[in-house]
Homo-oligomer: A and B are copies of this chain.
Amino acid sequence: MFLSINKLPNNLPAAGKPDPKAAQALQEGLGGQFGEMRTMMQYLFQNMNFRGDAKPYQDLLRSIATEEMGHVELVANTINMLLEGASTPSEQPEELPLSIALESPNIHHFLVAGQSSRPVDAAGNPWSATYVYDSGNLVLNMIYNLMLEATGRLQKCRLYAMSNNKAFRATVSYLIVRDLVHEKVFAKALETLGVQWNKALPIPRIDTSGMKEVKELESRNLHNQMWTFTNETSGLAQIFKGSSPFDDGGKLEVLEGHPEGANMPFFPDAPQEYASGLDTELRKLAQHVHKTTGTTGKSKT
């Protein structure tokens, strides 16, 4: 089971001006083959199907799977932020409030969704469970996961070089840093199983020293810290400890629980999209709900 915490893992600044093209590029990070929906599902399956008496590795998978759920939320909200304001909030269809859709790389943002994110990649392909890798073999899973994180990080570094929109950059940079720390987790796991991951060189390596947002996050040691994403005991710290496996001088650190997080953004009604579609009358009904107090019992736990 999981518990919801209604916060994003990182701050999400306003996007500046709307940018449907950057929004569509960022879809790769949500529904792409190396995006957050995939890492989340892959680690969840590896955790659920885990075999054998090696609980620290199973815990490690569970912690990262849980973190990735929050990344899914972060990317989706960033896409929504980039789309916000792209169409004109007019209720008069004669003024073509949605004409921007015909110029946008993913018309579905406006036509199928109500100006919001979609479970697809940057080329419009729907996410597919064929992406999920779980061989049942612990070592192979760890190698695959390391490669998966490294590829995800590579793609985010490419995204960084495509747009300097603030909201876009904040989220892309955060993911670059978190993907790095996840690479380290899987490299550490392999080290415990006998692979001298890297004596000589941090491999795979992608230099991010030119990215100021990334450097700022790293100055907070975010590239060496893992949260357990649980209030229970986790074996994660038995693996993720000591020095960084990448010879970058990092000191690995496990923190209990989750990052403090940032507030979820609020997205207003978009009547031109019929989203939420609450007109005056329905809104009145819905707001009536707001005011009433439901009786919440205590869970039996």
Contacts and interface: CB of A to CB of B under 8 A. Distances in A.
Interface in A19-56: 21-22, 24-25, 28, 31-33, 37, 41, 44-45, 48-56
A272 interface: yes
A298 B4 CA distance: 20
A52 B128 contact: no
Interface in A221-237: 227-232, 234-237
Contacts of A274: 136-137, 154, 157-158, 206
Contact of A147 (B147, B194, B235, B253): B147
A179 interface: no
Contacts of A76: 45, 48-49
Contact of A111 (B159, B282, B285): B159
Given A57-B286, A164-B94, A6 B62 contact: yes
Contacts of A273: 51, 136, 158
Contacts of A232: 4-6
B72 A44 contact: yes
Interface string A282-301: 11011111101111111111
Contacts of A236: 294, 296
A11 interface: no
A73 to B, nearest CB: 6
Contact of A28 (B28, B63, B112, B229): B112
Contacts of A157: 93, 274
B111 A134 contact: no
Nearest to A236: B294
Interface in A180-233: 190, 192-201, 203-207, 210-212, 227-232
A18 interface: no
A161 B4 contact: no
A: contact size bracket = 35 or more
B203 A198 contact: no
B6 A230 contact: yes
A152 to B, nearest CB: 11
A32 to B, nearest CB: 8
A126 interface: yes
Contacts of A126: 125, 128-130
18 contacts: A1-B258, A3-B230, A5-B231, A49-B116, A51-B275, A54-B286, A55-B290, A56-B290, A57-B289, A106-B123, A116-B134, A136-B274, A158-B274, A194-B282, A201-B281, A241-B292, A255-B298, A258-B299
